[in-house]
Amino acid sequence: MDTLIQQIVSGLATGGIYGSVALALVMIYQATDVVNYAQGEMAMFSTYLAWTLLNAGLPYWVAFVATLAIAFVGGVLLERILIRPVENAPVLTIVIVCIGLLVILNSVAGWIYSYIQKPFPSPFPSKPIRVGNIYFGAHDLGALAVTLLVLAGLYVFFRFTTLGLAMRAAAQNPVSSRLCGIRVGWMLALGWGLAALVGAVAGMMVAPIVFLDPNMMAGILIYAFASATLGGFTSPGGAVLGGLIVGVIENLVGTYVKFIGTELKLTVALALILIVLVVRPSGLFGRAAVHRV
Amino acid sequence: MPRAWTVGLTVAALAIALVLPFTLSNFRLFQFSQVFIYAIALLGLNILTGFNGQISLGHGAFYAVGAYTTAIMIDQWSVPYGWTIPVAGVTCLVVGFLFGIPAVRLEGLYLALATFALALAVPQILKYFEHWTGGSQGIVLSKPNPPWGLPINPDQWLYFLCLALLVALFVLAANLLHGRTGRAIVAIRDNAIAAQAMGVHTALYKSLVFGVSAAYTGVAGALSAVTIAYVAPDSFDVFRSITFLVGIVIGGLASISGAIFGALFIQFVPNWAQDISKAAPWAIYGVFLIGFMYVMPRGIAGSLRLAAARWLRRRAEPVASATGSRR
């Protein structure tokens, strides 16, 4: 029983990270109908920047905030420079551009920082927290708290500010929004900036667990895909919840289903994606896409 | 381009390909065998993505299935390698067709996502079935000798084998794509609903195209296992699938000859770039991917065709105005 609870809690912690990457994917998808394959590599690159700042001697939280700012600006620039020219192109073109961005970020990170794994510090104490007979990793709980805080912040931003409202409007109905005086192009760029920021948080929270290396996000990205698919690509809340569910499933399956263990982790995500796409393509909380013919 | 040109260029290319093995070193020959193998795989992916409009980011998976089918058959049951290649093709046809059935329900982005997940999961699956696949050690094979006492060395024999299969498969694909079936395949890409209204069985076609495409890539995988004489899970990671995508984008989407240009690119450019840095080939791939999408969306083959058409028109114009046949 204790093992079960412990596995669920650490599942929730990694699930929070999947959830935030999934949220970043969903934000970009909703705003621009693009699934950003480079999301994981953007997060990885931001984490390397944070590592550089930390090595330069900045205190953790200063480096944290600075990285978020850089990631935001970087995300906005990427949208302006790379995505805007192909905004109205066929899906294949956009997928290829995103894949191009993925390999560029991956190789540039490898070029600058080498492919050797680096440890990344956690801002939380290393001593586990004890509740009854159960030990929780302080980093797990801290990561979960930071993730939830970011989500709450985003919720408040989108729900209660004029800018957030404008961004939602631009995503939902670009033509009418433009007629109301919203600068739709810039709203999309802001969406990319915010997604990059959320990704950076996820990267910094996961790096102490998986270590920093240019390929660290590949596995996380596929789980984020699974989370977004499960929750529904049209539902931000669903994506986060999907992430938490996927995190818990991953941990429980890894612990209790012997023949899967940790060796077939990615295959579990693949199976999950296929099952959801076949049984309920719009996900648990998403709207079914309706096309006018 | 006039038909005579196409025929002339094809014959010239074939003539060069037949002379090459007697002038190049064995290592260069091996590289060109790789080019032919890549060209087969790229043609397979191009049938699916370029002609049929179904995005696959996971064709490395079918390449792996083909390679491992061959390797396991040779290693475990000592089947002669010649028989394993068609078996690999048929295995991939079936696997691709089965994967194509759920894929039919997925549009553009979702299909790309599912295949991307497939590409990421492949190395793990290969390592898991250690008993068959040799785990992360892989399977070591031996290079086959030329049959029937032919007076050539093994590298030359493999070169000719790959070339023969390449030509056969290209002729097959050209016949498939230029006929009634090919028009249906392209129609599904351009407007699935209209195609359905015209009586094209969209779902069946899509899964069949998936199967055929996988079979091509599987044959290529089988050939790569035979020529390299070694298979290992880590050579079939997600970057293998991305390499194929790079190949068809650079060569030319929806172009049969584009597969050759793409194959030459993915074989030789990384070799040159490797001298700069270990990461450089991928940086170059990325820049080329994005750059081609912006300035040459039809790839090398498309641009060459455009250039040829333009040149022909320019030559034809003075004649046309002299006789006054225009206007």
Q: Which of A24-38, A226-240, B23-37, B128-142 has the lowest mean pLDDT?
A: B128-142
Query: Environment class of residue B97 by beta-carbon count within 10 Å: exposed (0-12), middle (13-18) or buried (19+)?
Result: middle
Q: What is the mean pLDDT of residues B300-322?
A: 76
Give the pLDDT confidence score for residue A48 in this predicted structure. 92
Q: A212: which DSSP letter?
A: B
Give the pLDDT confidence score for residue A76 in this predicted structure. 92
**Which is more confident, B324 or B92?**
B92
pLDDT one-digit tens code per residue, A278-290: 787 777 777 776 6
Give the pLDDT confidence score for residue A289 in this predicted structure. 64
Q: Which of B14-18, B115-119, B195-199, B209-213 has the lowest mean pLDDT?
A: B14-18
Q: What is the mean pLDDT of residues A243-253?
A: 87
* Least CB–CB distance from A96: residue in B120, B193, B245: B245
CA B190 → CA A102, B193, B318, distances in Å? Answer: 28, 9, 37
Sign of CA dihedral A266, A271, A274, A279: negative
A107 has pLDDT over 80: yes
- Rounded CA-CA distance A50/B208 in Å is 48
Return the SS3 of A134: strand
Give the pLDDT confidence score for residue B301 in this predicted structure. 82
How far is the alpha carbon of B304 from chain A, nearest alpha carbon, in Å? 20
- Rounded CA-CA distance A212/A189 in Å is 28
B319 has pLDDT over 60: no
Q: Which amino acid is at B260?
A: I
B327 has pLDDT over 50: no
Q: Which residues of B touch A219 (CB under 8 A)?
A: 120
A72 has pLDDT over 90: yes
Give the pLDDT confidence score for residue A44 in this predicted structure. 92
* Least CB–CB distance from B116: residue in A37, A92, A219: A37
Give me Rg for the CA atoms of chain A: 19
A257 has pLDDT over 80: no
Give the pLDDT confidence score for residue B19 in this predicted structure. 76
Q: Which of A82-86, B106-110, B152-156, B184-188 has the lowest mean pLDDT?
A: B106-110
Q: Is B95's Cβ below 8 Å from some Cβ in A?
A: no
A71 has pLDDT over 90: yes
Return the SS3 of A273: helix
CB contacts < 8 A, A to B, total 133
Question: Chain-wide mean pLDDT for chain A?
Answer: 84
Q: Work out the percent of chain B whose per-residue pLDDT is above 90.
A: 8
> Looking at B44-87, which runs of residues are DSSP E strands?
none
Q: List CB contacts of A273: < 8 A, sequence separation 6 or more.
A: A222, A225, A226, A229, B113, B114, B117
Evaluate whether ipTM surpasses 0.85: no
Q: What is the mean pLDDT of residues B282-311?
A: 82
Q: Which amino acid is at B288?
A: F
* Least CB–CB distance from A93: residue in B286, B287, B297: B297
Shortest CA distance from A90: residue in chain B: B108
pLDDT confidence tier of residue B325, bands split at 50, 70 and 90: very low
Q: Work out the percent of chain A whose per-residue pLDDT is above 70.
A: 95
- Rounded CA-CA distance B42/B258 in Å is 9
Where do the structural domains in chain B lie, given as residue ranges?
Answer: 25-237
Give the pLDDT confidence score for residue B281 in this predicted structure. 78
Q: Is A82's Cβ below 8 Å from some Cβ in B?
A: yes
Q: Which residues of A touch B282 (CB under 8 A)?
A: 103-104, 106-107, 110
Q: Are strands A134-136 and B139-140 parallel, antiparallel or unpaired?
A: unpaired
| B207 contacts B101 by C-beta, under 8 angstroms | yes
CA A280 → CA A88, A287, B106, distances in Å? Answer: 28, 11, 11
pLDDT confidence tier of residue A182, bands split at 50, 70 and 90: confident
Return the SS3 of A118: strand
Q: Which residues of A touch B239 (CB under 8 A)?
A: 103
